[in-house]
Each structure stands twice: as C-alpha cells, then as structure tokens.
Structure 1
C-alpha cells in the first residue's frame, strides 16, 4: 500500500484512511483515491475525492450519476457523501491495481494475450453503456482497475468534471495519458467516439508502457485496431463491439465485463494483488488523529 502523506485527510466521512491507492507522484490520475475503513472496523472501502484544483460540484454530479449505474464492467459506486466543497464517494473494497501499478508490478508492458483480454473486456463494458446512450467520459490508464476477475472502469465522468474548454484549458491529467481525442481538445463535448479514442490510448499504453507510442512500437497483432481507435477522425473509429471482435475473435458477448470468475494474470501481478489484500487486512486503525 502507498503511505499517506501529511496533507492527506485522516478521515473521509465515516471512514478512516489507511493508505493511498496510487503511488506518490503518479501522473494522469483524475481522482484522489484512498483505501479506508469505517471507524467501527466493519467496512473496508475505496473512497474517492475530486482532484486538487478541480470543480467539486461537477465531480459530485458525476459521482451521483455513477451511483445509479448498473453497467457490467463499471466500478460500482455505492455511497456518496460529504459537502458541496468536500464531496466523496465510496465503493466496497476488493483487491485492485490501477493499470500503471499493474505495469510497474509486471516490470514493463503487458503480454499481448493479457492486453487483448483487457481491451476486449473494457470494449464490452463500453458497448453495453453506449447502446443505452451512456458515455463513460473517464477512460484512462489510471481509471482501469485490474482485479483477479478482470478489469473494471472507474473514474466515471472524470473528463466531463474537468470542464474541458479547449486546448489551453485542458487539464494535465488528460495530456499526460494521451487519452484526449483531438476534437475534445478543441472543445467538443465528450461522446462515444471520445471513449473509443481513450480506449485505444489505454491499449497502446498497456502494450508498450508509453502513453503516446509510435505506431511501430505497438505489437503487430494489435497495431491495426489500436491505430483505428486512435484515429484523428472520429467517424473512422470503430464501435466498441468491433474492438471486442478484433481483440477476442469468437468471444461470447456478455461473458467478460463484470465477470466473477478469475482470469489468468502474470505471477507478479497476482503477487501484487495478494500483497495489497494482506496489507489492507492487517492494517490497524490509528489510535489517535494524525
């Protein structure tokens, strides 16, 4: 687990913070995320706050919307609280690593079969949302949380909450990740095509370890579909269902996102998930306020 800093909150609502989910100095993280436990010790959660310098009201509105969603593959939001100046939301804890931490644990880019599973599952989640007119608007490497049962999309609406109004106002979060589609940088609203562009950026990062790799850096088997997702022309980007079909030919639609069955992960990633789980279980609540 990542140590708390002196400026981190000791309490968020009814929860006592135990550690930060994201490593110190992590870039491209659109929320402040903490592993926390209820004061009575009965509940362990992942609790999230808006980013420093962000608009708390816009962020809280997206969190409320996320709490109403039941889409498979979306990280669940079960409780929202706080004030207009200090909103938060909480999700039940399960061992999970943000995608940058997955690459760090693995020691570099992920193997192609894992990238295909990751991308196919995320594409299926987006497809199930897009058919209902729901745009995620927060797809980025840090927003992908990998569990023993596969990836989930967190940070719902994070891009909308930053109120992108043009390149000069684009938050560093999205520039750092390469997930901001050109039309969004020019001020267009976040839409389904923007989700697909961001998905392509996530896959490119998972396969290369770079946020904006050159085409030739992407493994040959993934190059065409990743390049199509990252097309500068929004109309030329594939629908998520096609991304799923390209990455996992023959996969049964509806069998991936939100699965409760374990998936095959590299040993060092499994070890990192297990280590986090053990440290959270062993963490004691502070005996006094920090």
Structure 2
C-alpha cells in the first residue's frame, strides 16, 4: 500500500513492515499478532492519518507499507531476513519503521542499520532494560537485545526511558556498557537529553503505564503516560535512521486501545522522521 505517490519531495520516505514473531518471548507468546493489530488500526476508518506535528501520511509524509516479512520459527534465519530487508530499505534511501513482534527483533534491526550508518544513538522506551546477558539460558531472549547490541558495538550511546524493573544483574550490565537510564522515580520529560544522531528509536509498549497500554505480556504499573512519551519524542531534533514499536499482545488488549496507541505512534514517528529530515554523514 503506497500512500506517498503524490508526495513531491520525500524527506525522507518511510518503509513500514511487520515482524510477526514471538519465538524469543520469555513468559507468554502472543506478540507475533502485534503487527496485524497495529496495521488494522492504522488503516481503519476509525481515525485519520494525521499526526500531532501537523503532518499527514499520504499528504505530507511518503510512507509505503511492505506488509509482514515471512518469518519462520528459526531465529538465525529470521535475523538474516530482517537484516536483508533493512539493508534494502537503506539502499533505497528510505527509513525502516518496524512493527514487532517481541523485542528480540531490535537486535537485527539495529545491527543492519549500524552496518549502513555506523554505530547509532538509541532512544529506548521500556519498563525493562533488556540487558540480560541471557535470560533463561537464551542469549537472544527479548530480555537481552540491548546486551547483544552493546557488546557488538552497534550503539555509540544508549538512553533508556521508563525503566522501573532494574535487577542487580541489569544494573551491572548498564554500568558495563555505559547505558544511561532515566528512571521513572520523579520522572519528567525534561530529564531526557536531546540526543545526537544518527538516531534509532525503539518503543516497547510496556514502557507505558498499563492504564494506557494494557495489551502487553509484561505490564508494569507506574509507567509513562502517552503525553510524556510524545514529549520526549518531539524534543528530538536529529535525523532518525530507524525505529520500531514492539511487544503488543492483542490477546491481552482491552477494546483495542493498545493497538490504537501503536497506530498513533506509527503516525507520530513517521511525522518526526519527516520533520527531522534525512541523515547525511
């Protein structure tokens, strides 16, 4: 579905695609259905395509929906498929915007983006730091992607927002990798820095409070409001080279509100990518 054919000068064009996998989920599978649920709300007549930044998909923003990748139940094969797709997107001069799936997909997404642009700055929203060296014996667990990213040298800076489940092990990992954690205690968007580029944004929906995003496998009270998350996004001014929205579990959603939120975040991320312009080293 190409909604950008009338857009004269895409700055830059965005490629949306789904990653329907949850094979690395640690507690309960269900996130594989997330991309379809977000996409259904994004293109539904329930709402329109406008963002709060004043830009509208299909009018001001060039966005192509590639549908879902045909992932398997094999992590190595899926990682390779994700890396190839992201490489194709970047080769076309476009920006990947991925819908998960569990958070394990962020590792190959960032890996492929860093292969194109060099190490990236990452802005990560989550209730959990996802820094486990391995979780339950699985080094590719959705609780471990940022450990894999950091140890591989793909992140020149990692800032995590919304964290409220920091174990001793993850605290040690954060110190080891130089991760900057903005805790929820006394949280204010002003405490999140304006970051340099190239910037990658990863949004785990459980970073938001369960009152706003109940449809996740690991709800954690005391999270971000939608307005706080948007305020942090809008203050970022550098070019964005990739983004993902992950961990929607439609089976745990209430009235589709988390899927609707996921669709809103697609619009707002697309508008931010468009507003901030293309990355030029």
Tell me: higher relative CO, structure 1 or 2? Use CA pairs within 8 A at least 6 residues apart. Answer: 2
Above 0.5 in TM-score? no
Could you tell me the TM-score, scaled by structure 2's length?
Answer: 0.28
- Normalised TM-score (structure 1): 0.28
The structure having more radius of gyration, on CA atoms, is 1
Structure whose residues are more often helix by fraction: 1
